[in-house]
Copies of this chain bind each other. A is one copy, B any other.
Amino acid sequence: MAKNHYETDLDRNPANYQPLTPITFLERSARIFPDRTAIIHGNARTSYGEFYARARKLASALAQKGIGKGDTVSVMLSNTPPMLEAHYGVPMTGAVLHSMNTRLDASVIAFQLDHAETDILITDREFSATVKEALSLAKVKPLVIDYDDLEFPQDGEMLGTQEYEAFISGGDENFAWERPSDEWNAISLNYTSGTTGNPKGVVYHHRGAALMCYSNTIAAAMDRFPVYLWTLPMFHCNGWCYPWSLSMVAGVHVCLRWVRAKPIYEAIADHKVTHLCGAPIVMSVLLQAGNDEKRDFSHRIAFAHAAAPPPQAVLVKTEQAGFDLTHLYGLTETYGPAALNEWKGEWDELDAPERMDKKMRQGVGAPALEDMTVMDPDSMDVVTKDGETMGEVMFRGNILMKGYLKNREATEGAFAGGWFHSGDLGVLHDDDYIQIKDRSKDIIISGGENISSIEVEDALYKHPDVTAAAVVAKPDEKWGETPCAFVETGAGAEVSEADLIAWCRKELANFKCPKNIVFAELPKTSTGKIQKFKLREMAKEV
């Protein structure tokens, strides 16, 4: 080919190329809508102008402490204003925001602080006891800033030398932050929950975070000025990037320190919440609320839920309670929900059970995801689109992590063959929608046959007395593994192990039926995920 005129004297320059970053979106909303409310927290209100000014003060105060590119600012914060401010103030300095699950125990916190090489830690008084212990265990000695929430006073010990408000008061609200030198620079660090072994540190880049803001806004079809209730923890995949996404449309963040029924219903009724996100546990909280906790409201609320879908009955009841459900799917490595169940208008005409079958599917890639499919992880061939052939869900595109921090081997494994290996097992339906059948490590292999633990759980959930169920592999001399079910039943239920096994035999092929049923309370993580690794240990003893 001769010289390409389209690549001659047409280079990038500061006028036509700027690194993508979500920080820009807050700057824009503060400029256009300075007086509009950005944050509601208890009786406190923060406008977009103030939000941006406070984020800049935080950045300035951090920079005064020497924080800049390559440094780590860790936070142990609930869904409160400093957590939102940290999402902008920390990356404004070039540093990386490391958010921790507030229910972690001290040893895991200490591991994360050491691994992340934390320079500064901002911590809420509510968590002082655990954090104090973690700091005594950790090798790093970060500067500690305490957040003393005046709206919801906590009595935990002050661990550092300065309170958050005093700290940022030393910052300049006109701090001249700079865009990242490269949109590939790290913006945040989130450790996977690590059901086995040490947690892995997932590193996000500015480019992905910015694209996720566009994608979230369009996926949720958010018009200007949504009112977003923080039922999802912001420490979880950076709150699926909503702390940044809301700035795109000048939305209101309604903070929520604890996911409890009464403040949720109050926020819905008082602030006219339009959107919320969360795991199915939030549905349970909503549905199981007492009459003294509930409030009437007449508008409908968009509820985006991820993690394994709850039983159909819960979906139906949640819709009847005023929530329009959208099923999302993703992992920490995909900035949260990189997929969604794009709803086809014609599905509204289906009967409830068929409609709910469609709702259970995880769906298709989000607008900013380039590709998602299900493959045989050995051959890397796409599986047959029959809704039955299982394979591993694979992602490829711009809303994937940079990789795992200081863990080249895990990063290379996750990205082998040019695709991100999710570790989730699923099928492709004939319309190209995916449905997750299991985590690869949760699959049960019995006599050489794959058994989806989710499929067995679904059968159990259909029994009227079962309120929760989890199925794991139990080592078996003859079969290799057999399914072992752990079950919670409703108050007063008198169902027996034999009853439930018989029930499963009507619902499932024989080889898929649990050989053992254990009635016990299921161990859960702070985000409501059932901890199957604990159940696997228990199953060995059954």
Cβ of A434 to closest chain B Cβ, rounded Å: 12
Which of A5-13, A105-113, A138-146 faces chain B?
A: A5-13
Q: Are B33 and A344 in contact (CB under 8 A)?
A: yes
Main SS class of interface, A? loop
Q: Are A218 and B28 in contact (CB under 8 A)?
A: no
A15 with B248, Cβ < 8 A, contacts A5-B117, A32-B432, A69-B4 known: no
Q: Establish whether residues B225 and A345, one from each chain, have CB atoms under 8 Å apart when the complex forms.
A: yes
The residues in A between 386 and 409 inclusive whose CB is less than 8 angstroms from any CB of B are 395-398, 400-403, 405-408
Residues of B within 8 A of A14 (CB): 396, 418-419
Contact between B406 and A15 (Cβ–Cβ < 8 Å)? no
How many Å from the CB of A294 to the closest CB on chain B? 30
A6 touching B405 by the CB < 8 A rule?
yes
Residues of B within 8 A of A70 (CB): 1-2, 4-7
Stoichiometry, copies per complex: 2
- Determine if B398 and A16 form an interchain contact, defined as CB atoms under 8 angstroms apart: yes
Residues of chain B within 8 A (CB-CB) of A6 are 70, 96, 185-186, 189, 203, 402, 405
Pair B5/A405 contact, Cβ less than 8 Å: yes
Give chain B residues whose Cβ lies under 8 Å from the Cβ of A395.
15
Nearest CB on B from A377, distance (A):
13
Residues A218 and B248 in contact, CB atoms below 8 Å apart: yes
- In residues 216-238 of chain A, which contact B (Cβ within 8 Å)? 217-218, 221-225
A403-B9 in contact (CB<8A):
yes
Query: Across the interface, do B5 and A406 meet the contact criterion of CB distance under 8 Å?
Result: yes
Is A13 touching B203 in the complex (CB atoms < 8 A)? no
A24 at the interface (CB under 8 A from B): yes
Query: Complex formed: what's the CA distance from A414 to B248 in Å?
Result: 29
Most chain B CB within 10 A, of A6, A13, A400, is at A6
Interface string of A64-89 (1 = CB under 8 A from B): 00001110000000000000000000
Q: Is A184 an interface residue (CB 8 A)?
A: yes
Given that A1-B69, A6-B185, A13-B415 are known contacts, is A32 also in contact with B397, CB under 8 Å in the complex?
Answer: no
Expressed in whole angstroms, the minimum distance between the Cβ of A64 and any Cβ of chain B is 17
Cβ of A214 within 8 Å of any chain B Cβ, yes or no, is yes
A477 and B41 CA atoms in complex are apart in Å by: 67
Instruction: Indicate if A445 sits at the interface (CB-CB under 8 A).
Output: no
CB distance from A77 to the nearest CB of B (A): 21
A411 within 8 A of B: yes
A357 within 8 A of B: no
Point out the residues of chain B lying under 8 angstroms from A68, CB to CB.
Answer: 1
CA distance A4 to B189 in the complex (A): 14
Whether the pair A10, B403 counts as a contact (CB closer than 8 A) is yes
Which of A190-198, A308-316, A362-370, A446-454 binds B?
A: A362-370
Residues of chain B with a CB closer than 8 A to A269's CB? none
Within the complex, the shortest CB–CB distance from A280 to chain B, in Å, comes to 24
Q: Which of B10, B18, B415 contacts A411 (CB 8 A)?
A: B10
Instruction: List A residues 410-468 near B (Cβ within 8 Å).
Output: 411, 414-415, 418-420, 432
Q: List 17 A-B contacts (CB under 8 A).
A: A1-B68, A1-B69, A1-B70, A2-B70, A5-B405, A7-B70, A9-B403, A9-B408, A15-B395, A15-B414, A18-B396, A20-B398, A179-B370, A214-B367, A218-B249, A221-B223, A248-B367
- Known pairs A10-B411, A14-B419, A221-B223 / 7 extra A-B pairs, C-beta < 8 Å: A1-B68, A16-B398, A16-B401, A17-B398, A214-B218, A214-B367, A221-B224
